[in-house]
Amino acid sequence: MEKIWIQLILLIGIAAVAVTLTRSTADARHQAVRRVLLVGFVLATAAAIIYPSFLSQLARLVGVGRGTDLVLYALVIAFLSYVATMYRRMKLMDRQITALTREIALAEVRLEQAGYPTNRPPAKDAGSTLAETDPSERRP
């Protein structure tokens, strides 16, 4: 009887994780791959919960001692792929931030040169230096 309860709790947990994971958005192809993997994961986990000996059988089939070890190996691989995915996503985000910052910087200079005020506080003696250098040189 106790076994049924823990099985129920774990199955509900898996369902909750599955629903949460599908809610994230990314580009379509990656999302499709992730969903296929997710369905496989849900099925395998559910099978392992309902038939506790299933994992051990699977482990012996591929030459690993125990089902627990198999889960650990799978976890390591999952973690590494997570790190790789996150690294790529971080790189992409870095590039987006860089592009954005660059656009703002260049737009700000254009405004400044067109004589518009910017939110950048001018240097205290900016007036005198502007007088020293020919403004036409500052313009393309």
Partner 1 sequence: MTTNDDAWLVVPLYNEATVIGDVVRAALPTFANIVCVDDGSTDSSAAAARAAGALVVHHATNLGQGAALQTGIAYVVTQTDASYLVTFDADGQHQVSDAEAMVALAREEDLAIVFGSRFLDDRTKAGFLKKVILKTAVWVTNQSTGLRLTDAHNGLRVIRRDAAARVNLVQNRMAHASEIVLQLGRTRLPWREYPVHVLYTEYSKGKGQSVLNSVNILVDLVFK
Summarize as ranges the residues that interact with partner 1 (CB under 8 A): 87, 91, 94-95, 97-98, 101-102, 104-106, 108-110, 120-126, 129, 132-134, 137-138, 140
Contacts of 50 (CB under 8 A, 6+ apart): 7
Contacts of 67 (CB under 8 A, 6+ apart): 48, 54, 55, 56, 57, 58, 59
Nearer to partner 1, 30 or 110 (CB): 110
Shortest CB 126 distance to partner 1, Å? 6
Rounded least distance, CB 78 to partner 1, Å: 20
- What region, left, alpha or beta, does residue 63 occupy, with left being phi > 0 and alpha being psi -120 to 50 degrees? left
Which CB sits closer to partner 1, 23 or 124?
124
In whole angstroms, how close is the CB of 47 to partner 1 at the nearest point?
Answer: 37
